[in-house]
Amino acid sequence: MNVNFLGKQLKSPTVLASGILGNSFDILERVHGAGCGIVTMKSIGPAPRDGHNNPTVIDLGHGLINAVGLPTPGFRHMDEEWEDLEKRDFPLSASIYGGSVSEFVEVAKFVAEKGPDFIELNISCPNSAKHGMLFGTNPESSFDVVSAVKRVTGQIPVIPKLTPQALSIGEIAKACEEAGADALCAINTAGPGMLIDIESRKPILAYKKGGLSGQMIRPIAVRCVYEICQQTTLPVIGLGGVTTGRDAVEMIMAGATLVGVGSAVKSRGIDVFSTITRELAQWLEDHGTTLEEIRGAAHG
């Protein structure tokens, strides 16, 4: 099921969500082999960071809650991985974050030289008090970071990743479009939420709060993608709770060009990418239609 996205030919409209598995070349390659169109690396930050102590990820049954806390070797300390990645034969998106516009720019510039196919800007991670949250909830700061990054990334398409916490995600999307974003990715985790263990009387996540993902956030993600597509004409990677081919259809009807998959790796395994692609293709065939024809159909 070939799809063209920003000039790249993809073998599937599915995208591996950042922070899911994408910690090393070998596993990224495996995910691509499992039918994924674009694999996204775990978000890379300006300086080495361990992230939070465990528990960091808990299965809620209808989704996950996580506060991994943006662990990163730091962009300067990944030489071996960059070397491996240069030899890749699959479309790669490098997700990056920073605590300020200048940090974003510093990371983006360095990463762009490594030649990923796309650069995703994580302006939406809720798990770190300092990093990113502010950018993605405010149109001006979203504009600032995107336009600054665009200046140093040359031909590599830049894809801001948005948060459902924004009061108007459509406005953030518009600001990103005006700043020169090439596409958008929505959504990062929702909430945040908190679990308290009532026996020990303590919050379960070491960071106390964590972002929600998986099936339970799908309605939020669909709404966000729908609103973004009302406000911009950028292609959108629709992400959040997508678990089946039918979910992918829903996301595409909301206006998405590609569908991201994260938490569903838990319930359906790494093959979820080929599974969703197959289910999607089957659905299109059964309904005698195409990806292009159903894209944004719910806006009609």
Write down the least CB distance from residue 71 to ligand FMN, Å: 8
Write down the least CB distance from residue 17 to other proteins, Å: 10
Cα separation, 258 vs 147, whole angstroms: 23
Query: According to CB under 8 A, which residues from 22 to 61 bind other proteins?
Result: 22-24, 26-27, 29-30, 42, 48-51, 53-61
Q: Which amino acid is at 203?
A: P
Write down the least CB distance from residue 300 to ligand FMN, Å: 26
Q: Is 216 in the site for other proteins (CB under 8 A)?
A: no
List residues near ligand FMN by CB under 6 A: 17-20, 42-43, 57, 64, 66, 68, 70, 95, 122, 125, 161, 188-189, 213-214, 217, 239-242, 261-264
User: Which of 204, 271, 279, 294 is the binder for other proteins (CB under 8 A)?
Assistant: 204
Is-catalytic flag, 224?
A: no
User: Residue 177's binding partner, choosing from other proteins, a copy of itself, ligand FMN, none, with beta-carbon cut-off 5 to 8 A by kind?
Assistant: none
Among 36, 125, 176, 185, which one carries the catalytic annotation? Answer: 125
**How do 236-239 and 196-197 pair as beta strands?**
unpaired
User: Residue 281's binding partner, choosing from other proteins, ligand FMN, a copy of itself, none, with beta-carbon cut-off 5 to 8 A by kind?
Assistant: none
User: Residue 261's binding partner, choosing from other proteins, a copy of itself, ligand FMN, none, with beta-carbon cut-off 5 to 8 A by kind?
Assistant: ligand FMN
List residues near a copy of itself by CB under 8 A: 60-63, 65, 137, 164-165, 167, 190-196, 198, 201-203, 208-210, 212, 215-216, 218-220, 222-223, 226, 246, 249-250, 253-254, 283, 294, 297-298, 300
Nearer to a copy of itself, 8 or 62 (CB): 62
Q: Give the number of other Cβ atoms within 10 Å of residue 269's Cβ.
A: 11
Q: Is 263 in the site for other proteins (CB under 8 A)?
A: yes
Q: Give the number of other Cβ atoms within 10 Å of residue 298's Cβ.
A: 15
Closest CA to 18 of 160, 219, 180, 176: 160
Written as six digits, the tokens of 297 are 């159909």
Write down the least CB distance from residue 240 to ligand FMN, Å: 4
CA 111 from chain center: how many Å?
17
3-state secondary structure 108-152: HHHHHHCCCCEEEEECCCCCCCCCCHHHHCCHHHHHHHHHHHHCC
Closest CA to 160 of 232, 77, 242: 232
End-to-end CA distance of the chain: 25
Cα separation, 31 vs 16, whole angstroms: 8
Write down the least CB distance from residue 192 to other proteins, Å: 16
Beta bridge partners of 3: 10
Q: Which residue has the tokens 């996205």?
A: 5
**Angle, in degrees to the nearest 10, between helices 169-178 and 139-150:** 30
Report the catalytic residues: 125
Residues of this chain that interact with other proteins (CB under 8 A) are 19-24, 26-27, 29-30, 42, 48-51, 53-61, 64, 66, 68, 71-74, 77-78, 80-81, 195, 197, 199-200, 202, 204, 206, 262-263, 265-266, 269-270
